[in-house]
Structure 1
Amino acid sequence: MQLELKVLDKDGSLLACSSGESEVNLVYKEEYNEGDKIVINSDMKNCNLHVSIDDAIGASTVYITRNEIIYQIPFGDARLSISPKAFTGNIHLITVKEAFEEEKRNYRNLALNKMDQHGDTGCYPHGTANVETRGEAVFAAKNAIDGITENRSHGEWPYSSWGINRRDDAEFKLEFGRSIIAEKIYLYTRADFPHDNWWQRVTLTFSDGSSMDWELEKSEKAHVLVLKEKKIEWLVLHHLIKADDPSPFPALTQMEVYGREA
């Protein structure tokens, strides 16, 4: 596999570039400016890559369905849901590595994508929703798959979450980009009590056509659902039934889906 990393400015001009076989590192020795983006090019698609888009964010194993993946460097409000150390300063390390065949068979959290973004990115897993509170980055759907389970407050990192803007019809969709075998699901509902409400029951609908109701409780701990090996390409979290609580603000901090490649 041939891999290439590039940093481009807002006009598409090349600022830095590095390439390699099966693995590539790029050290960018400048400050990022608004409009800059990181581009990952691969001569293969429909494959797993280990990607660390910034050393302060960390790595995740993603599945790409395109030869080119573009990551927009966040500025302004978009920065509030990530570590304040990320993308700052004048030296940055970006790494991409092909996943080994043995690694693909490993049992792991298949929902984790620390570099998820809005839009059709070609990079999975990918979280979307029919509502995000006030359109703010700290309440975006992608926050629910960034690997951060701290749920005892709300707002800026590390307390970002998926916020439903009080909508009773709120839905969160998690797409994997290919078939996976799901065996266990962890939900970390936000637990900033008494500011927060909580869901006493939710429904999961899967790409195989099945659905199941899931009874939850008021807790800061993970809610755990054990599945029989379920081959799916996506799931939807919906029918979110709030508890009889004075607060109107339930939210989701994190979803983890443990299993393996199909």
Structure 2
Amino acid sequence: MAKISIKILNREGVLLREGCAEEEINLLYDAAYQEGDVIVAETDEKDAFYWLQLDDAKGSSLVYVKGDLQYEIPFGEKRINLSPKVFSGERHLIHMRKARPYEYQAYRNLALNVSDWHENTGSYPHASANVETRGESVFAAMNVIDGVTASDSHGRWPHESWGINRREDARLKLDFGRLVETDRIILYTRADFPHDNWWVKGTVTFSDGSSLELNLEKTGMAQEFTFEKRKIEWLTLGQLIKADDPSPFPALVQMEVWGSEA
């Protein structure tokens, strides 16, 4: 059985709260978070699936854990891409549970991870990019896998997106941390018109060496693309071509990658 431990440390590394259990843990923290506080989640069974909830207002995701997790509680600009309810107040519930086979073997959105963060190297899926507008949280790559599809504006939650800072070579990477099988991608591009531009084309490159050209439309609704099944560990979205429009600001709100374990 997997042994799971969760700790909350302050900026000096002082232990504020700790819990340990087998297979599933609920850790209640009755205090307001302070800047520099860190949640540390550890398990003795790596390369396995877990349900992870870093905050009761944040929700949970099915993640593939390859290493220990260290999540610093965001403050100031670093939290405006999150609901204002997240990490607020003086009562917080952190939850982690070993996933059951029928949960992770299902056909599902393999990209969804409400608990991704910029420095995340221990859990997957994980989103990263070669550019994020001004380094601001509301334009970070992780926003495209947080499950929020509100596309009619830009800026603070729920209108966070991946912003490319006008880069012609902008590229987003989505890592799964293991081999998966996919046959469907759904994109939501930002549609805060006339502030926004939009992409008319983009190319998805898969880790197996294949690629898929996407023809995109001027819409904030879901754009779905199906293809023959591919077994991959990661993919990138790049070669993005803007429409002939005065606005220089196209952006991606959400990316879903549907499939199953390989």
* Superposition TM-score tier, normalisation by shorter sequence: over 0.9
Mapped to 1, the partners of 2:103 and 2:112 lie a distance apart of: 15
Unaligned 5+ runs, structure 1:
none
Mapped to 2, the partners of 1:173 and 1:17 lie a distance apart of: 34
Unaligned 5+ runs, structure 2:
none
Task: Report the alpha carbon displacement of residue 227 of structure 1 after superposing the two structures with TM.
Answer: 2.0
Mapped to 2, the partners of 1:50 and 1:183 lie a distance apart of: 24
Using the aligned pairs only, state the percent identity.
55
Asked if structure 2 preserves the Cα contact closer than 8 Å seen for 1:70 and 1:121, the reply is no
1:24-65 Cα deviation digits (max 9, x unpaired): 000000000000011111011111110111111101011111
2:6 partner amino acid? L
Mapped to 1, the partners of 2:23 and 2:119 lie a distance apart of: 27
1:195-214 equivalences under 5 Å are 195-214=195-214
Asked if structure 1 preserves the Cα contact closer than 8 Å seen for 2:69 and 2:120, the reply is no
2:236 aligned with 1:236: yes
1:95-134 equivalences under 5 Å are 95-134=95-134
1:173-218 Cα deviation digits (max 9, x unpaired): 0000001111211000001011100000000000000012110110
Mapped to 1, the partners of 2:55 and 2:69 lie a distance apart of: 15
Residue matched to 1:8: 9
Residue matched to 1:251: 251
1:158-169 equivalences under 5 Å are 158-169=158-169
How many residues align? The count is: 261
Asked if structure 1 preserves the Cα contact closer than 8 Å seen for 2:31 and 2:89, the reply is yes
Asked if structure 1 preserves the Cα contact closer than 8 Å seen for 2:144 and 2:254, the reply is yes
Mapped to 2, the partners of 1:212 and 1:107 lie a distance apart of: 21
RMSD, aligned α-carbons: 0.8
Which deviates more from structure 2 when the two are superposed, residues 89-98 or residues 110-119?
A: 110-119
Asked if structure 1 preserves the Cα contact closer than 8 Å seen for 2:62 and 2:104, the reply is no
Residue matched to 2:178: 178
1:130-145 equivalences under 5 Å are 130-145=130-145
1:181 partner amino acid? E
**TM-score when scaled to structure 2?**
0.98
Asked if structure 2 preserves the Cα contact closer than 8 Å seen for 1:27 and 1:91, the reply is yes
